[in-house]
Homo-oligomer: A and B are copies of this chain.
Amino acid sequence: MTTAQHAVDYDERVISAAREVFAQQGFAAPVSEIAELAGVGVASIYRRYPNKRRLAERVRIAAMSRVIAEAESAGEVEPDPWAAFVRFVRGCLRAHTGIGVVLPPYEESEDVSEELTRLRQRMIEHIEELVVTAQRAGQLRGDLRSADVFLLFKHLNPPLATEEDRRAELRQRYLELLLPGLRERADRLPGEAPDWDELFQMCVPGGQ
C-alpha cells in the first residue's frame, strides 16, 4: 500500500497548497502556482481533479468544515461568551483554517453542490449561536449580526472582496464597527506593538 499512501500524501499537499493560494489570491490564482507551492506538476493536479473548479470546491468544503470545528471548539474551550467569540474569530483567521476560501463565490453561475449548501447552513448557525450567546451575556455589542462577522472576515481578507463589497452602504457599516474601537478607554489591553517602520513601508505607496 505504499503507492496508495503516496497518493494520499500527494492529495494532501495539493489541497493544502490550493487552500493557501486561493485564500491569499482568490480563485483567480493560476493552477500552476498551486502546483509549484505543492511541489508537483500541474498534470498531477489534473490527474486527480477534473478541473480547477472541482479542486476549488473540495478546498472550500474542507475549509468550511474547519470553520465549523473552530466554532465548536471555541464554545467548548472558553466558558466566557466574549472569550469564545474572540477565540473563534482569531481561530478562523489562522492561516490553516482558510476562511479566505470560504467567503467568495467561485463564479457567478457556480452550481453549488448539495454538500456545500449543507455545510454553509451549519456554519452560519454556529456563528449565529456564538454571537447571540455573547450578546445575551451583554458582552458583545447588541447591534452585531452574524452577517457582520462575515463582513469582518471579508475585510480582513482583502483580496477576496467581490464587486458588491464596495457598496457604500457596506463600507459605512464596517466603519461604524471600527470607529468606536479606536476611542481611548480604560480597559484597553496593552497588546504588542508592531514594527512601525515596516508597517509604514508596507502600507504607504512608494515607501521610502
Contact = CB atoms under 8 A, between A and B. Distances in A.
Nearest to A159: B161
Nearest to A200: B147
Interface stretch (A8-16, A30-38, A67-75, A137-145): A137-145
A1 interface: no
A165 B175 contact: no
A147 B199 contact: yes
A47 interface: no
A67 B152 CA distance: 25
Interface in A83-113: 86, 89-90, 93, 95, 102-105, 110, 112
Contacts of A166: 24, 158-159
B147 A196 contact: yes
A154 to B, nearest CB: 6
Nearest to A166: B24
Interface in A109-123: 110, 112, 116-117, 120
Contact of A185 (B89, B141, B154, B203): B141
Contact of A179 (B89, B147, B167, B168): B89
A: contact size bracket = 35 or more
A141 B183 contact: yes
Nearest to A145: B196
A49 to B, nearest CB: 19
Interface string A178-191: 11111111001111
Contact of A156 (B90, B175, B193): B175
A183 B144 CA distance: 10
Contacts of A79: none
25 contacts: A24-B166, A86-B179, A112-B206, A141-B182, A141-B184, A142-B184, A143-B193, A147-B196, A147-B199, A148-B199, A150-B204, A151-B199, A154-B203, A156-B175, A158-B158, A158-B165, A165-B203, A167-B202, A170-B194, A170-B199, A173-B194, A177-B178, A179-B181, A180-B185, A185-B185
